[in-house]
Every structure is written in C-alpha cells, then in structure tokens.
C-alpha cells in the first residue's frame, strides 16, 4: 500500500475536534402527490419511485445502510436502495465526473466541497446525519497500553491516507495528542512507525484484524461485531476527543423518495440501529 507522509493539513480545533455541522439543516421537506410511475407509502404519506434509489456511501457506513435500506423499503413499499460503498473522496470524484446517484453520504464535509465547487450542490443542501469517534486500537498480545508505547521502535501502525476523511481525522487526533501531552516529537515518531496508508477506512480495519499490524487508528463504529478479546483501546489524553461527522445530500435529478430516505436516516425510530453500529444520530 502507498507510503505517504500525512499530518500536514487541517485547520480545525484540536480539542474536542469535530468538523462543524453548524448551519447545516438536519431535515428536508418531503415530496407529495403520486406522479406517474410512482407508488404510495403504506401509510399514504408520500409517493416514491418504483425504481431503487442509488446511494453513494462512505465505506464506513456500508453496514448501517444495509440495515436501514429494508426499513425504507418496507415503509414506502419501494425497492430496497442500491448502495455503492467506497472512500468518500473517490465517490465525490465519480459524481463530479458525471456518475449518477440519488444520495451521497460522506464521512466529512470536505468530501462535499468538490461538488459545491462544481456547482452540483449548494452547501445549504448538505445535512449532518451522524457521528462516531476516532479510536486507537492495539493488538492485546503486543503489550501496548499507552500513547507513548506507540512511538517505540518496531511498532507497526496502519492509518487512513490524508486524501480520505479517516486520514484527515487522524491528523487532528495526532496533533491534539502532541499538543495536549507536550511531546513535541510525538507526531514524527508515530509517523515513523506507520507501515501502511490506506485509501478507505474499511481497509484500515481489515488490515488490523488480519493481524498485519500492531496498531490502527479507526472509527469506533468499525469495532462493531468484533470480538473484544481481539483488540484493546489505547486511552487518549484527557480532553482529546476527535469526532467524525457524516453528511448527506440529495443530488440533482434524484428519484422521488431520495428526500424521504435522508429524513428517515435520522428519524427517532432508527436511533437504535445507528447506536447498534457505533454511531450517534444528529437530530435538530
């Protein structure tokens, strides 16, 4: 996998670091009526397309979408949405290049910027929907129990590349640790132990649990379904807390039902589903 130096960018708060969702509406108006070729929901509330919605989704949300898709299909008597899961930045490039999707769900706001710059969407179209925290995990058999252990010679670390949201959040986390602890050389020493930069968050998780490395920086949600005995979470310094915020947007030309799907994502009835997979919904 590519070896690239990261941790050189990001202008955001380091402590309690969250990419801000301020000013981003959480819900959209629903459609109404029953146009030709549409079907009415089982409660008669609105009409949706008889064709499946096409979703472009950050790879770390793939499991959640698989769980929520059937709920949408049942509620609206519609086909289950089709999901393409990949790195947010890669999906953004596809959309800018002309790929047709109904909904784009990214792991950070910066992944939406290419679409905004290309006048495909407006910033006001984007909606914050969920969050999860960044964690550092280690193999239990390696005896790594603290932040300082991560800079020891021979420790093998995998992180996401800075070109994807998980990598950008990793940048925030490492800088926050260095600032909080006062260990000026922490970021440099940590980086020297990175043996792989992955182009999507799910690849980081796969490499860690395959036993290829000793340490990984990943989303807490990516620990869902993993046996607790297979990893240990390295405690972070006090007041260091980096949160990943996920954003959704209905794309131009989307099928009827796309707005309903985005609204359903953060409906109170689905909070437990998100929680099961390690996420918190954002509701206003």
From 162, 174, 159, select the one nearest 88 (Cα to Cα).
Answer: 162
Is the domain of 262 the same as that of 239?
no
Is the domain of 146 the same as that of 181?
yes
Question: Structural domain tally of the chain?
Answer: 2
Q: What is the pLDDT of residues 57-70, one digit of tens each?
A: 998 899 999 999 99
**In a domain? residue 27:** no
**What is the domain range of residue 234?**
132-243
pLDDT of residue 129: 95
Is the pLDDT at 267 greater than 80, yes or no? yes
Average the pLDDT over each of 29-33, 97-101, 176-180 and give the range with the smallest value. 29-33
**In a domain? residue 15:** no
Q: What is the pLDDT of residues 72-101, one digit of tens each?
A: 999 999 999 999 999 899 999 999 999 999
From 203, 243, 220, 249, select the one nearest 105 (Cα to Cα).
Answer: 249
**In a domain? residue 8:** no
From 153, 139, 96, select the one nearest 121 (Cα to Cα).
Answer: 96
On whether the CB atoms of residues 24 and 126 are closer than 8 A, the answer is yes
- Give mean pLDDT, residues 30-53: 53
Is the pLDDT at 3 greater than 80, yes or no? no
Per-residue confidence band for 225, with pLDDT thresholds at 50, 70 and 90: confident
Q: Quick one: tokens of 271?
A: 């909070």
Is the domain of 237 the same as that of 136?
yes
pLDDT of residue 48: 84
Is the domain of 201 the same as that of 256?
no
pLDDT of residue 47: 74
Angle subtended at Cα 21 by Cα 15 and Cα 23, rounded to the nearest 5 degrees: 130
Q: 């093998």: which residue's tokens?
A: 156
**In a domain? residue 227:** yes
**In a domain? residue 219:** yes
**104 Cβ contact partners less than 8 Å away, ≥ 6 residues apart:** 55, 56, 57, 91, 92, 95, 112, 115, 248, 249, 251
Per-residue confidence band for 46, with pLDDT thresholds at 50, 70 and 90: low
Q: What is the pLDDT of residues 126-165, one digit of tens each?
A: 999 999 999 999 999 999 999 999 999 999 999 999 999 8
pTM: 0.77
**Cα 174 → chain centroid:** 18
On whether the CB atoms of residues 76 and 42 are closer than 8 A, the answer is yes
Q: What are phi and psi of 28, to 5 degrees?
A: -120, 160
Q: 């905004």: which residue's tokens?
A: 116
Is the domain of 66 the same as that of 126?
yes
Is the domain of 72 the same as that of 174?
no
Q: What is the pLDDT of residues 9-28, one digit of tens each?
A: 333 333 333 333 333 444 44
Q: What are phi and psi of 204, to 5 degrees?
A: -60, -50
């Amino acid at each position: 996998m590519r070896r690239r130096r990261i941790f050189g960018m990001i202008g955001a708060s380091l402590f309690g670091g969250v990419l801000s969702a301020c000013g981003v509406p959480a819900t959209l108006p629903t459609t109404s009526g029953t146009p030709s070729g549409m079907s009415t929901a089982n409660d008669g509330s609105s009409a949706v397309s008889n064709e499946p919605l096409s979703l472009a989704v950050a790879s770390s949300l793939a499991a959640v979408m698989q769980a929520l898709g059937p709920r949408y299909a049942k509620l609206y008597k519609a086909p289950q949405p089709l999901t393409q899961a990949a790195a947010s930045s890669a999906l953004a490039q596809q959309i800018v290049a002309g790929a047709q999707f109904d909904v784009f769900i990214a792991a950070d706001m910066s992944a939406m910027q290419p679409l905004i710059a290309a006048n495909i969407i407006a910033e006001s179209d984007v909606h914050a929907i969920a969050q999860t925290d960044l964690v550092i995990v280690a193999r239990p058999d390696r005896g790594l129990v603290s932040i300082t252990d991560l800079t020891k010679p021979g420790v093998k670390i995998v992180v996401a590349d800075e070109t994807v949201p998980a990598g950008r959040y990793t940048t925030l986390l490492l800088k926050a640790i260095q600032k909080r602890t006062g260990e000026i050389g922490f970021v440099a020493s940590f980086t020297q132990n990175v043996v792989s930069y992955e182009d999507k968050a799910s690849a980081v998780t796969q490499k860690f649990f395959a036993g290829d490395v000793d340490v990984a920086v990943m989303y807490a949600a990516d620990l869902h379904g993993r046996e607790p005995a297979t990893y240990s979470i390295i405690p972070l310094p006090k007041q260091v807390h980096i949160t990943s915020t996920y954003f959704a947007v209905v794309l131009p030309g989307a099928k009827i039902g796309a707005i309903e799907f985005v609204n359903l994502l953060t409906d109170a009835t689905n909070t437990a589903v998100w929680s099961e997979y390690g996420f918190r919904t954002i509701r206003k």
